[in-house]
Amino acid sequence: MYLTKRSQIIFAQPTPSSSPTAPQHKAAYCRLPIISNKPAIATDTGGLGEAVIDGKTGFVVPPDDPRALADAIRRFYMEGKEEEFGREVRNEKRKYSWDTMIENIEALAAEF
């Protein structure tokens, strides 16, 4: 689910803990916030809670808790987290880029 406000987009993924197809969906959704450079609000199921750094690149809420999800979405907009979280998502993405991997490998190789 994408939510928009003032041209800002946030990725919200409420996955119920009992969903029979949850494992397949979670694997795909784990990468979406970083690929799309968007903050995320995700349920703490599967790898989603690990892919989103709570309070840094988005919010992680308990599964099957619509109130917590609504509160996180409200908090995101009321506290103006769009820019801060978006910046942190881009920083996280850079950490896992090919350029960064090459730099790290070259630095490691230079030690030998």
Is 15's pLDDT higher than 70? no
Instruction: Tell if the pTM clears 0.75, that is, is over it.
Output: no
* Digit-coded pLDDT (tens) for 72-100: 999 999 999 989 999 999 998 888 889 99
* Digit-coded pLDDT (tens) for 20-79: 555 545 545 555 556 677 888 888 887 778 888 999 999 999 988 999 999 999 999 999
Q: Residue type for 33, please?
A: P
Residues ≥6 apart with Cβ < 8 Å to 57: 33, 39, 40, 85, 88, 89, 92
- Set out the domains of the chain in order of their start, with CATH numbers: 2-110 (3.40.50.2000)
Is residue 4 helix, strand or coil? strand
Dist CA 51 CA 60 (whole Å):
10
Q: How far is CA 103 from the centre of its chain?
A: 25
For 52, list phi and psi in degrees, rounded to 5: -105, 125
